[in-house]
Amino acid sequence: MTPTVSRGLATALVLAGIAAANLAAQVKGINGGLTDDELAAQPEDDDGFYEEAKAPVRFKDADELVLTPLARGGYSDIQGRLVIDVIENDNAFLAVRLETPEGAPVSGARATPSLEGTSLVVDSSEALLTISDSYGIVEIVVLAGQMGLDVLTVQVGDAKTEVVLNVLSLAAAGIPALPEVESGIPWSDLMQARVRYEGGSIAADFPNVISERAGETVRIAGFMTPLQAENSQRWFLLTSRPPHCYFDIPGGPAGTVEVLAPEGIEVSWEPIIVEGRFEPIELGNGAVYKLHDAKRVEL
């Protein structure tokens, strides 16, 4: 049976869990790693330093909302808006916290995101991603478009907030440009797929420029993400930009091609061109594209 992307990622998660358990065992019984003197120096709970979490308020009971965008590595522009740097064709993950003016989280509120620019909000059928939870959090994923400044607006009722996406080109980020492949499939076409998360599966709708090439032998240029501890990879991911973390695949499901190469392809950290039988996957649990019987080709 052909292995799936999710199995490889699950293996990595298991290994990470084992490492965390070992670390926890090492510090168990020593007060989380703090000495008695360090524990004695901690502030008391009754000095006002720590505040008790406020109970959530249902959206229908909230008279006024305060929206605060949140993102790892974000910073503020001169207008006070959150700015996120993201590379072309990669995903930006952010959240918006909904609160009352008194700081109580607001749950059950549906957020409406809209974008000005070439980037796209990743569609999802999971209600928990578009409706605030008991912490007042709504999660949003944006697929970055072409280099430039895009503006994401998130609105809930009469309240709204803006996030600026500073989209950087591969060259500006110091990443080698992908070679142009005549008659190949560019990432700009692959990323037109509309991805939805349905339960534990990933569903995708493909534009005609993609679906009409199903079953053809095609060429795609990209970066290799190895999935095997071998120099010759028979199973790997091809992505729109270099990998940097096994838990954050560049470009998301539509920015990734699962490659099956029976004869193996040598590991490379430079851009490569791969040729194989193309399969768009309408419902699966990993990448929404596969290349079968793949081999590396040169221009």
Q: Give the pLDDT of residue 276.
A: 96
Domain ranges of the chain: 60-168, 176-297
The more confidently predicted of residues 170 and 76 is: 76
Q: What is the pLDDT of residues 272-284, one digit of tens each?
A: 999 999 999 998 8
Q: Integer distance in angstroms from the first to the last C-alpha of the chain?
A: 33
Of the candidates 298, 297, 294, the residue with the CA atom closest to the CA atom of residue 234: 294
The backbone region for 172, taken as left when phi is positive above 0, alpha when psi lies in -120 to 50, beta otherwise, is: alpha
Contacts of 147 (CB under 8 A, 6+ apart): 88, 167, 168, 169, 172
Separation between Cα atoms, residue 92 and residue 66, nearest integer Å:
22
Q: What is the pLDDT of residues 47-70, one digit of tens each?
A: 444 456 789 999 999 999 999 999
- By the 8 A CB rule, do 230 and 221 touch? no
Q: Which is the CATH superfamily of the domain at 60-168?
A: Immunoglobulins (2.60.40.10)
- By the 8 A CB rule, do 136 and 88 touch? no
Domain 176-297 architecture: Beta Barrel (2.40)
Strand (E) or helix (H) holding 154: strand 148-156
Of the candidates 216, 228, 224, 180, the residue with the CA atom closest to the CA atom of residue 291: 216
Q: What is the pLDDT of residues 125-176, one digit of tens each?
A: 443 457 899 999 998 888 888 899 999 999 999 999 999 999 998 777 778 8
Q: Give the pLDDT of residue 2.
A: 44
Give the sign of the dihedral formed by CA 113, CA 114, CA 117, CA 122: positive
255 confidence band (pLDDT: 50, 70, 90): confident
Average pLDDT over residues 257-271: 94
Separation between Cα atoms, residue 281 and residue 288, nearest integer Å:
5
Q: Give the pLDDT of residue 44.
A: 55
The DSSP code sequence of 183-219 is TS--HHHHTT-EEEEETTEEEEE--HHHHTTTTSEEE
Separation between Cα atoms, residue 204 and residue 289, nearest integer Å:
10
Rounded to 5 degrees, φ, ψ at 283 are -145, 120
